[in-house]
A and B are shown apart, each in its own frame.
Chain A
Amino acid sequence: MALGNTKTLGKFVVVTLGMFGFGFALVPFYYKICEVTGINAGAEQSLAKNTQVDTSRWVTLEFDANTNSGLPWQFKPEMRTMKVHPGQLVQVEYDVTNTSDQAMVGQAVPSYGPARAAAFFKKIECFCFTPQTLAAGESRRMPVLFVLDPGMDRDVHTVTLSYTFFNTEKKAQTGSGKSLPHG
């Protein structure tokens, strides 16, 4: 009898430990289930549904990237061109590498072509909002999240977004780094 009880105890202890592990396994399990079945509506719910998309026209976007001569960095967009509807939320990425052997601070300044499109290019998040510090040899992928305002003139079919990275080391020392034009 006592031997039988010990065997039963062993089985129950195994189940207990297994269920303790199962509690932790539920974490990746839930994420996986939601991913596979797409039933986690949370991701879409967190962004308000955009009803302002003007699907009646396409605008071609061109992305351009330059560095000022004072900054030995490599800087290029992931994608050169893309077609979007005005009003659509767009995310693009840029890659930057500090090829020098010392840490440097740079800040990107955007410009737009045609210039009248600038007022309709609404950036929500951009690496150009803040100075970027890169260690020697460091690479970084940086996002820009924006919406092209549907109010933009209908005769604009192509918009170019061009960034130039400037060395802000000297200005940062004098404390005027923040006054760089950005946005």
Chain B
Amino acid sequence: MSDAAHAHDDHSHGHPSGIMRWLTTTNHKDIGTLYLGFAFIMLFTAGSMALLIRAELFQPGLQITNPDFFNQLTTLHGLIMVFGVIMPAFSGFANWQVPLMLGAPDMAFPRMNNWAFWVLPVAGLMLMGSFLLPGGAVAGGWTMYPPLFIQGGISYDLTILAVHIMGLSSIMGSINIATTILNMRAPGLTLMKMPLFCWTWLITAYLLIATMPVLAGAVTMLLTDRNFGTHFFNAAGGGDPVMFQHIFWFFAHPEVYILILPAFGIVSQVIPTFARKPLFGYASMVYATASIAILSFIVWAHHMFTVGMPVAAQLFFMFSTMLIAVPTGVKVFNWVATMWKGSLTFETPMLFAIAFVCLFTIGGFSGLVLAMAPVDIQVHDTYYVVAHFHYVLVSGALFAIFAGSYYWLPKWTGHMYDETLGKWHFWLSVIGMNIVFFPMHFLGLAGMPRRIPDYALQFTEFNQIATVGAFIFGFSQLIFLVVVLKAIKGGAKATDQVWEGAEGLEWTLPSPAPYHTFETAPVVK
């Protein structure tokens, strides 16, 4: 096995080299790398949009953008960060890690895996290319609400098609991952012995398979309303725009758990490693993940408390939403209990994981505040909401992606990353992130509406603080880029186990993991 490891590049059985290697690859590690690379490029793309937004908001009045371009930036920033960064990054982790963790030779459907990735850049180009079309890119918000989304120009059709493609990609990816997890585990590796990362991805895959087609249906209805004279959402033809919100959030609430469950999985791998203790309450973690997923289907209307719902419905969605705090609390408790009396060390992955636990919890609490209908009606569409979902998506999903990247980078590249630069990246990110998003809570409570390029004078100071934080946070991601590139090029040789406390099948392999692994399945006792 270890001989094969050193010859891993020659071991690709006459595969084409150069660009064709990547275009035609069916190897789960290559595809994982492609997903992660794509997510990285998109992170900088959508991140630059965020910096433009923050630069405009540094002062009241219009300095850099015009309102229409500003709306295009907020819309594309949201769409790309959700569909082009977080989801592909998690798919990249799944492609790399799921077969390694399960002792499988590859994914269940390698050819479909290749397709699932390569349609993504096409969708990305369609989204970015729409900036050049007459009327500019979509400016109706990432939630694609009619009537705005029915009225826009050609780029709206293009965006709908891009969403179709990205949905198709993630459905193919999820079917692949779920089938791999269900059918291709090493002998003896029962479901309840799987690493938690595989569990969270299995549940995420089910959520994606159940809800992505609903989004596809919703945007298809938008498309036919726009082009073929149907009236699903067109009030002039007897349709109902609120209907779109119901269908959209039936997809999009499970979607927010799709964006966080794999993050839970990564953190549940990282914390036990650096606490040198097994994960506390493994079974309760599995059940908590599953109950979060099931509950996610009955809470969608808490995103639309202001559409005019009867009190009974508001109460139902309010209480069912609050119920989700229970399994989430179980998870946070288990992470803390795992660290309790552990022999902790604070390498970069662990730092990001601990920041995840603390800051994601802040986002969770502001979510509970928003779950209360009377409060939500006050702060709906204000910066309070922006603060909330950036705490769960930046210091939640993105920090978990950073934690996972630092954690597995030595296994992927064979080299230890630069720990000093990693720590710089962590501290600048965590401080910058809080400077951007914490003041937004106050702005929201004071009534500053989101998605507007101008604001009243009294909001100036907090906006300036947020903008300074945004530039600290944004530019510190360049450190991460340097760390990754340095680790790919060279560095201290990583051992097979990499981390002293690491356990699991992937750490029995050489570092870097050979091109082909587990061609004969390992036996798990």
B108 within 8 A of A: yes
Q: Are B217 and A30 in contact (CB under 8 A)?
A: no
A179 to B213, CA, bound (A): 57
Q: Are B210 and A19 in contact (CB under 8 A)?
A: yes
B188-223 contacts to A, CB under 8 A, are: 209-218, 220-221
Q: Are B214 and A4 in contact (CB under 8 A)?
A: no
A13 to B171, CA, bound (A): 9
A55 within 8 A of B: no
Q: Are B184 and A26 in contact (CB under 8 A)?
A: no
Task: Out of B183, B211, B215, name the residue touching A5 (CB < 8 Å).
Answer: B183
A30 to B221, CA, bound (A): 15
A15 to B213, CA, bound (A): 9
- The 7 A-B residue pairs with the shortest CB-CB distance, nearest first, are A23-B217, A20-B213, A19-B213, A23-B214, A12-B175, A8-B179, A5-B108
B7 within 8 A of A: no
Q: Which of the candidate stretches B64-72, B241-249, B369-377, B395-403 sits at the interface with the other chain?
A: B241-249
Distance in angstroms from A151 CB to nearest chain B CB is 32
Q: Are B308 and A39 in contact (CB under 8 A)?
A: no
A9 within 8 A of B: yes
> What are 6 residue pairs bridging A and B, where the CB atoms are less than 8 Å apart in the complex?
A5-B183, A13-B175, A19-B214, A23-B217, A23-B251, A26-B247
Distance in angstroms from A136 CB to nearest chain B CB is 29
| B305-347 vs A, Cβ < 8 Å mask (1 yes, 0 no) | 0001110110000000000000000000000000000000000
- Given A23-B216, A41-B308, A45-B308, the answer on whether A16 and B246 have CB atoms closer than 8 Å is no
Task: Out of A1, A4, A39, name the residue touching B312 (CB < 8 Å).
Answer: A39
Chain A residues within 8 Å of B, Cβ to Cβ: 1, 4-5, 8-9, 12-13, 15-24, 26-27, 30, 39-42, 45
Q: Are A15 and B209 in contact (CB under 8 A)?
A: yes
Distance in angstroms from B163 CB to nearest chain A CB is 13
- Given A15-B210, A27-B232, A30-B246, the answer on whether A20 and B183 have CB atoms closer than 8 Å is no
B178 within 8 A of A: yes
- Given A19-B211, A20-B217, A39-B310, the answer on whether A26 and B179 have CB atoms closer than 8 Å is no
Find chain B residues with CB under 8 A from A13 CB: 175
A4 to B217, CA, bound (A): 29
A12 to B218, CA, bound (A): 20
Find chain A residues with CB under 8 A from B214 CB: 19-20, 22-23, 26
Find chain B residues with CB under 8 A from A40 CB: 310
Task: Out of B108, B216, B246, name the residue touching A26 (CB < 8 Å).
Answer: B246
Find chain B residues with CB under 8 A from A27 CB: 221, 232, 243, 247
B182 within 8 A of A: yes
Find chain A residues with CB under 8 A from B212 CB: 16, 19
Task: Out of A4, A21, A30, A45, name the residue touching B183 (CB < 8 Å).
Answer: A4
A23 to B232, CA, bound (A): 12
B250 within 8 A of A: yes
- Given A4-B183, A20-B217, A30-B246, the answer on whether A39 and B175 have CB atoms closer than 8 Å is no
Q: Are A20 and B175 in contact (CB under 8 A)?
A: no
Find chain A residues with CB under 8 A from B209 CB: 12, 15-16, 19
Which label, helix, strand, loop or mixed, suits the secondary structure of the A interface?
Answer: helix
Chain B residues within 8 Å of A, Cβ to Cβ: 108-109, 171, 175, 178-179, 182-184, 209-218, 220-221, 232, 242-243, 246-247, 250-251, 308-310, 312-313
**Which residue on chain A has the smallest CB distance to residue B246?**
A30
Find chain B residues with CB under 8 A from A9 CB: 108-109, 175, 179
Find chain B residues with CB under 8 A from A41 CB: 308-310
Most buried by A among B213, B220, B309: B213
Q: Are B211 and A24 in contact (CB under 8 A)?
A: no
Distance in angstroms from B247 CB to nearest chain A CB is 5
Find chain A residues with CB under 8 A from B218 CB: 23
A20 to B242, CA, bound (A): 19
**Which residue on chain B has the smallest CB distance to residue A13?**
B175
Distance in angstroms from B209 CB to nearest chain A CB is 6
Find chain A residues with CB under 8 A from B184 CB: 1, 5
**Which residue on chain B has the smallest CB distance to residue A42?**
B308
A5 to B178, CA, bound (A): 10
A1 to B247, CA, bound (A): 37
A8 to B182, CA, bound (A): 9
Q: Are A26 and B250 in contact (CB under 8 A)?
A: yes
Q: Are B308 and A5 in contact (CB under 8 A)?
A: no
Distance in angstroms from A40 CB to nearest chain B CB is 8
Find chain A residues with CB under 8 A from B232 CB: 27
Q: Are A39 and B313 in contact (CB under 8 A)?
A: yes
A21 to B221, CA, bound (A): 12
**Which residue on chain B has the smallest CB distance to residue A46?**
B308
Most buried by A among B183, B218, B309: B183
Find chain A residues with CB under 8 A from B183 CB: 1, 4-5, 8
**Which residue on chain A has the smallest CB distance to residue B112?**
A9
Q: Are B109 and A5 in contact (CB under 8 A)?
A: yes
Q: Are B171 and A16 in contact (CB under 8 A)?
A: yes
Find chain A residues with CB under 8 A from B309 CB: 39, 41
Distance in angstroms from A124 CB to nearest chain B CB is 20
**Which residue on chain B has the smallest CB distance to residue A4?**
B183
Q: Could you list 17 further interchain pairs (A-B, Cβ under 8 angstroms) beyond the known A9-B179, A12-B175, A23-B216?
A: A9-B109, A12-B209, A19-B213, A19-B214, A20-B214, A21-B217, A22-B213, A26-B217, A26-B246, A30-B243, A30-B246, A39-B310, A39-B312, A39-B313, A41-B309, A41-B310, A45-B308
